[in-house]
């Protein structure tokens, strides 16, 4: 394992070289959106300056080049996830879009009906709650939830008790966006498969930090977003196992997802185009693949080790401060620290930190049921990336300390 040099990495991120209220920016809101390196910006610019054209349609040179670049991006993503086939990668607008694709196609398919069960966890982002509520409302299925323990980990004994042959789908996050908990997804998948249930993994928060092998995991679907892995917003991908994608119906109709259209009948296209109606985000796909190449150039294991060090350093510093309550203390965590200060609203802490140049997230983090589980309305969340430094962590802890003194 090679120790990464965040100071060297920061040279690729011009946005970090600025001041907020006269202080150097310390960007610790990476779980919401990571920053984008020059290499990704240049890939976007190159597309629009050199090969901007629609794909899979025209015979001219630009169209051929754009098509080649777009499909090369699909190959990059398939390789990164270790998918068996490129056509198991569906381009979407992000994790939310990917989950909705699966929930809507399952609803349309009739494979889930009254008497069936869908299992999610108490750690889920709203994007992995609401689509399944909608599916259950439309099909008559029942939604059940894996409880969360006091340390922010899942109650796996309860999960195993929920499983039976009525369970048709398990949909859980790989990593909690609010607490940083790394869920035991291998155990979750293996147990679900014994009941012949489908499994979807929300990988939005895992993709920036962990090496993912969908064949080794054995999941049926894996979703992630570009803007959390140093890529652009509005682009993401869904991995789906080939026989399952072939078996499910399309969700959106339009151009590209068809083979032949008459007024009497339409024949749908093969994978992956069956699920990619209309002109795709061509530039976004190319930039997303560039972001993945960028992460792999640093090394996923190296990124994870660096971020773990930052998370542990921040935790050690925060616990020394008066009135600190940490949320999410599970043994296996990604690069997130979530906390409250006794008697102080998280928004007030976040506002003062911003005045000191520190960008964090405050609120319920689109996880209101999880916040309710702990009897709170939200937390302060600091989340780390490859370009963050130990000095930034120390300055963050000092800024929290100053905020406590000012608000106490």
User: What letter does residue 339 receive in the DSSP assignment?
Assistant: E
Evaluate the CA torsion angle 365, 368, 371, 376 in order and state its sign. positive
Q: Are 112 and 135 in contact (CB under 8 A)?
A: yes
List Cβ neighbours of 90 (8 Å cut-off, separation of 6 or more).
Answer: 98, 101, 237, 238, 239, 240, 245, 272, 275, 276
Whether residue 32 has a cis bond before it, omega within 30° of 0: no
Q: Which residues are identified as catalytic?
A: 366
Tokens 């779980």 sit at which residue?
31
What are the C-alpha distances in Å from 367 to residues 142, 156, 325, 349? 20, 20, 18, 20
Whole-number Å distance between alpha carbons of 247 and 243: 6
Which H or E run includes 126? none
- Residue 369: is it exposed, middle or buried by C-beta count within 10 angstroms (0-12/13-18/19+)? middle
Any residues with CB less than 8 A from the CB of 27 and at least 6 apart, and which? 15, 16, 35, 359, 385, 388
């Amino acid at each position: 394992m090679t120790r990464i040099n965040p100071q060297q990495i920061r040279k690729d991120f011009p946005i970090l070289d600025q001041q907020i209220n006269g202080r150097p920016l310390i960007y610790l809101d990476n779980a919401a959106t990571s920053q984008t390196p020059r290499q990704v910006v240049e890939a976007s610019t190159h597309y629009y300056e050199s090969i901007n054209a629609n794909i899979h349609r025209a015979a001219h040179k630009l169209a051929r080049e754009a098509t080649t670049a777009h499909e090369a991006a699909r190959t990059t993503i398939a390789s990164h996830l270790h998918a068996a086939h490129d056509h198991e990668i569906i381009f979407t607008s992000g994790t939310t879009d990917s989950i909705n694709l699966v929930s809507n196609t399952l609803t349309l398919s009739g494979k889930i009906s009254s008497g069936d069960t869908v299992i999610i966890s108490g750690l889920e982002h709203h994007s992995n709650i609401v689509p399944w509520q909608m599916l259950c409302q439309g099909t008559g299925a029942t939604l059940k939830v894996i409880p969360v323990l006091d340390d922010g980990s899942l109650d796996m004994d309860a999960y195993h008790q929920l499983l039976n042959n009525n369970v048709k789908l398990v949909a859980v996050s790989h990593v909690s966006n609010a607490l940083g908990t790394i869920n035991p997804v291998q155990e979750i998948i293996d147990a679900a498969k014994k009941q012949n249930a489908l499994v979807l993994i929300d990988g939005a928060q895992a993709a920036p930090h962990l090496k993912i092998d969908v064949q080794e995991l054995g999941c049926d679907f894996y979703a992630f977003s570009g803007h959390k892995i140093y890529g652009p917003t509005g682009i993401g991908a869904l991995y789906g196992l080939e026989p399952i994608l072939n078996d499910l119906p399309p969700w959106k109709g339009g151009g590209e997802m068809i083979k032949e259209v008459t007024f009497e009948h339409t024949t749908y296209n093969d994978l992956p185009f069956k699920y990619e109606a209309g002109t795709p985000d061509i530039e976004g796909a190319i930039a997303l693949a560039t972001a993945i190449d960028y992460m792999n150039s640093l090394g996923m294991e190296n990124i994870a080790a660096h971020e773990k060090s930052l998370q542990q350093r921040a935790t050690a510093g925060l616990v020394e401060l008066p009135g600190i309550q940490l949320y999410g203390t599970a043994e296996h965590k990604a690069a997130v620290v979530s906390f409250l200060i006794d008697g102080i609203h998280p928004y007030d802490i976040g506002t003062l930190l911003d005045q000191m140049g520190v960008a964090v997230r405050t609120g319920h983090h689109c996880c209101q049921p999880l916040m309710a589980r702990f009897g709170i309305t939200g937390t302060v969340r600091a989340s780390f990336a490859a370009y963050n430094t130990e000095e930034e962590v120390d300055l963050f802890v000092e800024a929290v300390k100053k905020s406590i003194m000012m608000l106490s």
